[in-house]
Amino acid sequence: MRLQDLAVRLVAVEAKLATLTGTAVDTDNATSIEELDARLSVVEAQIEHLIAEKTQRQIDAIVYSPADEAPVEVEDVVALSPSFEVSEAAAIVTDVVAEQHEAAAIINPEVADVVTAAVVAVVSAEPEVVLDPVALTEAIIAAVADAPLPAKVGNSIANQNICAPGNDVVWLYAGNMSPAQWEDTLLINSGYTWSAPEAGVTSGIVTSGANHDGIYWIGIADASGTAVAPSSGKVYTFFPSESAPAPAPEVVQQIVDAVVDIIATATGVDTVAPEVVQQIVEAVSTPADSALDAINARLDVAESKVDSLLGK
């Protein structure tokens, strides 16, 4: 009887989640503890993902909005935090979010994205981390170090899908992208990588390129550098160079100043220790893992396509 009651409750939760995500729901009750456990694990993962997405959206809105004009209230963000029910930790999270809510809009996306990552680190931290100044500082700096570089509009060709009907090169017609983008990026052999799952290749490198009357020939190789003959009609996706530049010095300083303020508020100090400031400088100045940036960009596209299919 208890298994049946729990199974009915689980279906009800699954139905609510399906409403939120626009997906179908299995209306059959679980018939074993193992099935109940497996389905509940999926539900828990979905809930955590939805909370993370909503937290990110809300903090983005706060960071990019003028002072006190964000379309979200501080308490709504705090309510999503694991610290919500621990009063002392919730007070710290509230202070950090409120500080951003009261601050002027951050226009530069390089600064805004890192500030968002730092605030998200505080909001999403477990209460025991929030209450430990050292642990919380480490969490913020780690989030800053992992923050992806924002896409350079008109310069990056990440996730550009192109048909490849060539023999020993990929043929790219001028209509695929502007000539300037190919000549300024891919054709200078600047370390772009590629992937073609349809052709059974998940990782490769670009080795050469040339422009012949508006048709761009791109030589490609596998991850080991061995030349590859593209498969006719397959889709090849190119990703930015692994040597992405670090932010400009003045941008680094803006980010460091903002992160220092967040850490000071989060840890309740007037002055952040010089060694911590240096750690922030190093985290900001060192480009994030470009391979993870590429995965992040591809995942953004995949999520967008799935949401489109779901009618979001």
Q: Are residues 57 and 137 in the same domain?
A: yes
Q: Which of 239, 270, 286 is the last residue of a domain?
A: 239
Pairing state of beta strands 193-196 and 201-212?
antiparallel
* Of 120, 62, 60, the residue nearest 266 (C-alpha): 120
Query: In the prediction, which pLDDT does 274 show?
Result: 94
Q: Give the span between the Cα atoms of 237 and 158, in whole angstroms.
A: 7
Q: Are residues 139 and 283 in the same domain?
A: yes
Q: Give the span between the Cα atoms of 254 and 261, in whole angstroms.
A: 11
Residue 173 burial (C-beta neighbours within 10 Å; 0-12, 13-18, 19+)? exposed
Quote the percentage of the chain above a pLDDT of 90.
Answer: 36
pLDDT exceeds cutoff 90 at 292: no
**pLDDT tens across 183-223, in order?**
444 444 445 667 777 677 767 777 766 655 555 566 777 77
Query: In the prediction, which pLDDT does 187 show?
Result: 45
Q: Are residues 235 and 251 in the same domain?
A: no
Residue 99 burial (C-beta neighbours within 10 Å; 0-12, 13-18, 19+)? middle
What is the pTM assigned to this prediction? Answer: 0.64
* 62 in a structural domain: yes
269: its two tokens: 């100090």
Q: Are residues 217 and 269 in the same domain?
A: no
Q: Are residues 278 and 198 in the same domain?
A: no
Q: Give the span between the Cα atoms of 156 and 171, in whole angstroms.
A: 19
Q: Of 129-133, 170-174, 298-302, which gets the smallest average pLDDT?
A: 170-174
Q: Are residues 145 and 251 in the same domain?
A: yes
Mean pLDDT of the chain: 78
Number of domains in the chain: 2
**pLDDT tens across 165-178, in order?**
444 445 444 344 45
Q: Are residues 266 and 233 in the same domain?
A: no
Query: In the prediction, which pLDDT does 27 show?
Result: 80
Q: Are residues 181 and 260 in the same domain?
A: no
Query: In the prediction, which pLDDT does 24 show?
Result: 73
Q: Give the span between the Cα atoms of 145 and 147, in whole angstroms.
A: 6
* 19 in a structural domain: no
Mean pLDDT on 129-141: 97
Q: Which domain, by its residues, includes 261?
A: 51-149+247-309
**pLDDT tens across 98-118, in order?**
999 999 999 888 899 899 999
Query: In the prediction, which pLDDT does 238 show?
Result: 64
Q: Are residues 229 and 295 in the same domain?
A: no
pLDDT exceeds cutoff 90 at 17: no
Q: Which of 239, 259, 275 is the last residue of a domain?
A: 239
Query: In the prediction, which pLDDT does 167 show?
Result: 42
